Amino acid sequence: MDLDRFGKERIQYAMIVAQGAGSRLASVMLSRRAVARHNGLPLPRRPLHHQSTRHIQTATVTDIDIARLASQPLHPLTLADLCKHGHPPLSEQALLNSANFTLSLLPARLAHRIQSLRSLPYIVVANPNVSKIHSNYVHSLSTLLPYASRRIETLKDEVAFTAVMADLVQTHNNTISILARGFLEARKYITALDVTRFLDEHLRARIGTRLIAEQHIALHYSSQPHNSLHTSSTPQNSREVEESSYIGVIDTHLKPAHIIRNCEAMVGEICELKYGVRPTIRMVGETETAIAHIPMHLEYILTELLKNSFRATIEAGMEREAIEITIAPAPAADQQTRTGEEQSRQTGGISNHDQGSVDSASGNTKRSSVNIRALADSTPGVTIRIRDRGGGISPENLKNLWEYGFTTFNEDEINEKTSSSSSSSYSSGGGGMDAVMAVGGPVGGSSLAGLGYGLPLGRAYAEYFGGGIAVQSLWGWGTDVYLSLRGVGRV
């Protein structure tokens, strides 16, 4: 079965990434091409208005700066927050508002991550890989400090700030793979429970940091005001932009069925390369269901879930049995019959834990916001059930399912993967794609494949905006996985 154009582009890019061809310019261009493809615009040919990331202004980050910013509470982020500046193309004022909204959130988030890293045992922080992540966060904070004491009030400043966001996204492309190597190497000095607690918080917080930056980058490229600063810029077709279902990186008319088919094609390619066969899927339910969500997040989650189902199905010798995927839109909730607490919990309320804002790893739980906001009553949701005949999950493995670093690989295989990954570099563009690539991406070439990061990270993506993943295993028969998602509501 041939891949569609989208699947081919993803695999081709993955192959380039796996060969170490990623660069800051490539990341910037990828972001621009993604926006252009979403909005039906001509593909960009030039870097970010010639604003080289090598010439980004920085400021010295002091311990006082970190302590001051880390003392600020982190509030839950909703999809509605990211859409509040309107549908692109944005006006000049709306674009400046987006830049200032982004600036108001990121410095504190970066400072919290620095504090959390510093709370780890010294011998763990001294590991070269963990130390590199700490340095990356300090660097990103140094690029934001020149803006932190003022507002962005001109388009020239907004263009420069967008270059800072592109640099931030690229700087943290490899966070997952580098941290995984670091904790593998330092596993003698920190317990598995502490690793899981730290990574669950840190990687959830990272999702929000990248998303905030990428949202502004996407809004920048899908808007027009800054084009007046560059007469040679390719003019955009306003009608094409307005007709797009995208608001930045959020697709307001996302059909999970389309994402499932794309992921099926990618995972099927992996299976054919590794096993020589590929299972099939049978999609039932309301396949035309659409919600407002982030495609890259859903792609990562579904890729991980399908990889597990496909592998189990093949290894159980049941590849002739189609994997059944049911798409069920969530019914409208009767909000008048619930208490405020019940509404927050049952309609997809977003907690600080879901978004990694509790700061428990650094012992700063008192600094977190307690203003948990439930999603709007009109927020549509969807549940996706993946049912396979792969034999199920053994009871001893089921209890460790959500533990970062839990794997069925043996010690020799882990050591081989750790040593091989130390000599290679992986990078990618989008937040979801970064996760796919870092945890055994579409070409199956990542050294982290099978090292126990896929499922817990997938659950983090699902829970970030009030969704979740539940697993029911019938040992000796098969597994049902339930993925629930909440959308953005009315935009």
> What's the pLDDT tens digit per position in 477-491?
999 999 999 876 555
pLDDT score, position 224: 74
pLDDT score, position 230: 59
Is the confidence at residue 416, as pLDDT, over 70?
Answer: no
For the chain, domains (ranges, CATH) are 5-247 (1.20.140.20), 250-486 (3.30.565.10)
Percentage of the residues of the chain whose pLDDT score is greater than 90: 49
Cα gap 435→440, rounded to integer Å:
9
> What's the pLDDT tens digit per position in 321-330?
999 999 999 8
Query: Which of 166-180, 240-254, 407-421 has the lowest average pLDDT?
Result: 407-421
pLDDT score, position 368: 40
Q: Categorise residue 363: left if φ over 0, alpha if ψ from -120 to 50, beta otherwise.
A: left
> What's the pLDDT tens digit per position in 263-284?
999 999 999 999 999 999 999 9
Average pLDDT over residues 236-249: 68
The two tokens of residue 128 are 């070269």
The residues pairing with 470 across neighbouring beta strands, listed in sequence order, are: 482
Confidence class for position 402, pLDDT limits 50, 70, 90: confident
pLDDT score, position 374: 39
